[in-house]
Amino acid sequence: MDYLKFSLLFIVVHGVSYVIAGALALKVSGDIYESKNRHCDFLKDMADPEESGQVQKLFFPAQLLRGLLMSVVLYPVLGAIRYLPFAAKLFFFAGLMFVYTHFAAASPFMDNIEGCVYFKEKYLQKKYFWKFQGEMVIYSVLFGLLMSLFI
């Protein structure tokens, strides 16, 4: 698989997985993202038309860029990934997305290792921690499954 095809596949799979996981999570996580009393009061309010509009405007270009950058980093190992059995590809891609882009990420957030170190206690609540984990598990498994099917 050449680099351009791999990047295009990666971008599409990332975008689809991200949208599906995010839409499902928003159904049970309105208390995180919506209203003046939302838990993540430092994020834009998805219930506010102006702030939601800003997110909608930047969402697609941001996900294209994220997908492209994440795909390019994998170019050196692309040849080896192709020959892995399906289960190994699934574990590789799902694990890569869950661990590297989320749980062990260097940027702190309330549901990753760095966040547990740097976030104030008011943001570190179990119910929100598990809501975010659910979203990321859905994203990572779906991403891993789709990449493994098509690579």
Amino acid at 139: Y
Dihedral sign, Cα of residue 74, residue 77, residue 78, residue 83: negative
The number of folded domains in the chain is 1
Q: What is the pLDDT of residues 77-102, one digit of tens each?
A: 999 999 999 999 999 999 999 999 99
The answer to whether 3 and 75 are in contact (CB under 8 A) is yes
pTM here is 0.91
What confidence score (pLDDT) does residue 57 get?
96
Q: For residue 118, what are the CA distances in angstroms to 33, 38, 92, 125?
A: 21, 20, 29, 14
- In this predicted structure, the answer to whether residue 1 has a pLDDT above a threshold of 70 is no
Q: What integer is the mean pLDDT of 130-144? A: 95
Find the domain containing 41 and state its range.
3-150
What's the mean per-residue pLDDT of the chain? 93
